């Protein structure tokens, strides 16, 4: 039985539905038709060659909407392709395919495909409809929700982009059965991030799933009804949490620093973005970098006497359950520190770190309120441990 959630974005009175269910991909035609305007005639599907290799046939088989013409464009996967060059290629494709104002873009893939395609949809003809079919755990619980779209630039991650809400999101958790181990770890790290800022209920839900179904055995469990049902309900719980935060602060208002502002979703991301930047977006999956970022933010919170040892240990325990994160040998601490500045651009020139007063108690602290020496000390210790 598919789950269905309605996500409301009060500020522009738009509302869209997220449907979740095993096997929905091969029945996606009806969903596409119902999610778009009656006037829509052309639909551009953007995917990466890897995802389309796995699920292209299934998607096309399920695409039973005779009045819609399908145009397919495949990009090469990976974070390094998340740039303006790829966007330009997609925009060329949309123009040459005659995708007009009433038409739509569908993303079929992980967060990279979703972010780029959403951005192309936001700027093609000043904005056309966008549907998202996320196929990684990370994009199901995080990237596909909230309307942030965009690409990286040479100055840093996600620095070019737009808010563009989808008209619908379809999640088929069965697609996760082909997801490589590391991508699973990456998604679980983003879930731990959400658990850490949401509270014990969500964090425990994630921890329990990992205890009952250790990650190494996820793949063999997809035929189990119990596992599938737990997985779906966990995805739903994470989406509901993220959607709740986004609804209250759709555009991440820069002056907001309260515990319900959208910025709290950046918990773990100051270090994550810096690590991704200094390693040239090649060594770490985004979610893996978030795994390290969670541990750093937790340790820093403890050093500032904000968070208890017990809560930091709990986060360490859950992060370690998701598997081994890649080694961080040969990473220069000063370079990482410099890379923190990229995040300043997101927050009106002053770096704001999301720390924890405890599980479920995020707090936004301005960089100038944290002694530099403390940041360096914590970073030094952790980079040595992680080498």
Phi, psi (5° rounding) for residue 165? -75, 140
In the complex with ligand NAD, which residue's Cβ is closer, 109 or 156? 109
Q: Which residues bind ligand NAD (CB under 6 A)?
A: 48, 50-51, 54, 77-79, 82, 109-113, 115, 135-136, 138-139, 142-143, 146, 148, 158, 175-176, 178-179, 183, 186, 285-287
Phi, psi (5° rounding) for residue 136? -110, 160
Nearest approach in angstroms of CB 158 to ligand NAD is: 6
Q: CB burial class (10 A; 0-12, 13-18, 19+) of residue 59?
A: buried
Q: Given CA atoms 79, 152, 142, 186 in this order, what sign does their dihedral have? A: positive
Nearest approach in angstroms of CB 221 to ligand NAD is: 16
In the complex with ligand NAD, which residue's Cβ is closer, 90 or 378? 90
Closest CA to 150 of 346, 354, 19, 344: 346
Nearest approach in angstroms of CB 77 to ligand NAD is: 4
Structural tokens at position 309: 């040892």
In the complex with ligand NAD, which residue's Cβ is closer, 38 or 85? 85
Nearest approach in angstroms of CB 51 to ligand NAD is: 5
Nearest approach in angstroms of CB 319 to ligand NAD is: 16
In the complex with ligand NAD, which residue's Cβ is closer, 82 or 346? 82
In the complex with ligand NAD, which residue's Cβ is closer, 62 or 287? 287
Nearest approach in angstroms of CB 327 to ligand NAD is: 20
Tell me how far apart the alpha carbons of residues 137 and 299 are, in angstroms, rounded to a whole number: 26
How many C-beta atoms lie closer than 10 Å to residue 331's C-beta? Answer: 17
Assign 160 to helix, strand or coil: strand
Tell me how far apart the alpha carbons of residues 228 and 99 are, in angstroms, rounded to a whole number: 37
In the complex with ligand NAD, which residue's Cβ is closer, 181 or 313? 181
The beta strands (E) that lie in 262-375 are given as 352-356, 362-366
Q: Are 149 and 161 in contact (CB under 8 A)?
A: yes
Q: Are 130 and 167 in contact (CB under 8 A)?
A: yes
Nearest approach in angstroms of CB 276 to ligand NAD is: 8
In the complex with ligand NAD, which residue's Cβ is closer, 99 or 116? 116
């Amino acid at each position: 039985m598919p789950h269905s959630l309605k996500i409301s974005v009060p500020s522009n009175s738009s509302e869209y539905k997220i449907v979740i269910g095993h096997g929905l991909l091969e029945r996606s035609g009806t969903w596409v038709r119902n999610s778009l305007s009656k006037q829509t005639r052309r639909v551009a599907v953007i995917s990466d060659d890897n995802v389309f290799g796995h699920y292209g046939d299934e998607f096309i088989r399920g695409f039973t909407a005779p009045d819609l013409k399908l145009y397919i464009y495949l990009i090469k996967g990976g974070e390094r392709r998340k740039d303006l060059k790829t966007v330009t290629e997609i925009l060329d494709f949309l123009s040459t395919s005659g995708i007009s104002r009433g038409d739509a873009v569908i993303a079929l893939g992980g967060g990279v495909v979703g972010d780029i395609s959403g951005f192309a949809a936001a700027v093609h003809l000043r904005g056309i409809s966008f549907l998202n079919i996320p196929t990684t755990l990370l994009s199901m619980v995080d990237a596909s929700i909230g309307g942030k779209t965009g690409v990286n630039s040479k100055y840093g991650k996600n620095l070019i982009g737009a808010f563009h809400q989808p008209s619908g999101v379809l999640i088929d958790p069965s697609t996760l059965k082909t997801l490589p181990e590391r991508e699973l770890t990456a998604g679980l790290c983003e879930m731990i991030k959400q658990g850490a800022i949401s509270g014990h209920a969500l964090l425990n839900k994630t921890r329990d799933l990992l205890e009952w179904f250790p990650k190494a055995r996820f793949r063999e469990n997809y035929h189990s009804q119990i596992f599938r049902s737990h997985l779906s309900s966990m995805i739903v719980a994470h989406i509901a949490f993220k959607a709740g935060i986004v609804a209250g602060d759709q555009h991440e208002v820069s002056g907001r620093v309260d515990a319900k502002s959208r910025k709290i979703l950046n918990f773990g991301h100051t270090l994550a973005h810096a690590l991704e930047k200094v390693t040239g977006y090649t060594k770490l999956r985004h979610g893996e970098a978030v795994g390290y970022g969670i541990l750093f933010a937790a340790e820093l919170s403890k050093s500032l006497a904000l968070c208890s040892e017990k809560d930091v240990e709990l986060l360490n325990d859950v992060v370690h359950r998701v598997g081994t994160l890649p080694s961080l040998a040969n990473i220069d601490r000063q370079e990482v520190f410099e890379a923190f500045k990229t995040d300043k651009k997101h927050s009106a020139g002053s770096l704001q770190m999301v720390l924890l007063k405890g599980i479920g108690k995020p707090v936004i602290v301005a960089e100038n309120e944290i002694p530099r020496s403390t940041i360096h000390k914590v970073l030094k210790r952790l980079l040595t441990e992680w080498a």
